[in-house]
């Protein structure tokens, strides 16, 4: 069995978040799926301000919504200059057999993602 790379895990999380955003009726102005590049999504919906969505994938399915508060403050300053909102999507992905094991290609996994954290609304 081959474990997913960090980039493959990130892409899986991006797909989960992207599907949710489409269900919510948002259009994607830009998508950046490279690791450690932010924001991952820039959204548009008629009559609403721009929204930057930051996606973080973690193996911690209990606390997937945790983020670095200090780093987020600097990103919020960037968003304020752009008159944009900031949403955070923490996605927990873990091996279905044991959270101690990596997630393997084509194998079952647990996924924890419900709602966006509206950091700057």
The pLDDT value recorded for residue 36 is 86
Domains, the chain: 6-120 (3.40.1350.10)
In the chain, pLDDT over 90 holds for what percent of residues? 95
Q: 56 near 91, Cβ under 8 Å?
A: yes
Categorize the per-residue pLDDT at 90 as very low, low, confident or very high, splitting at 50, 70 and 90.
very high
Q: 43 near 29, Cβ under 8 Å?
A: yes
Q: What is the pLDDT of residues 45-59, one digit of tens each?
A: 999 999 999 999 999
Of the candidates 21, 3, 15, the one whose C-alpha atom is nearest the C-alpha of residue 59 is: 3
The pLDDT value recorded for residue 16 is 97
SS3 for 81? helix
Q: What is the pLDDT of residues 23-34, one digit of tens each?
A: 999 999 999 999
Cα(88)–Cα(85) distance, integer angstroms: 10
pLDDT exceeds cutoff 90 at 108: yes
Range with the lowest mean pLDDT among 12-16, 21-25, 34-38, 104-108?
Answer: 34-38
Q: What is the pLDDT of residues 61-86, one digit of tens each?
A: 999 999 999 999 999 999 999 999 99
């Amino acid at each position: 069995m081959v474990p997913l790379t960090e980039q493959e895990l990130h892409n899986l999380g991006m797909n989960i978040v992207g599907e949710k955003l489409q269900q919510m009726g948002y259009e994607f102005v830009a998508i950046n799926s490279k690791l450690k590049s932010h924001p991952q999504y820039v959204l548009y919906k008629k009559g609403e301000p721009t929204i930057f969505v930051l996606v973080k994938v973690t193996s911690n399915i209990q606390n997937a919504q945790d983020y670095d508060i200090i780093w987020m403050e600097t990103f919020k300053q960037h968003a304020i200059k752009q008159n944009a909102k900031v949403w955070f999507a923490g996605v927990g992905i873990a091996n279905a057999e044991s959270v101690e094991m990596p997630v393997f290609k084509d194998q079952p996994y647990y996924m924890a993602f419900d709602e966006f954290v509206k950091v700057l609304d």
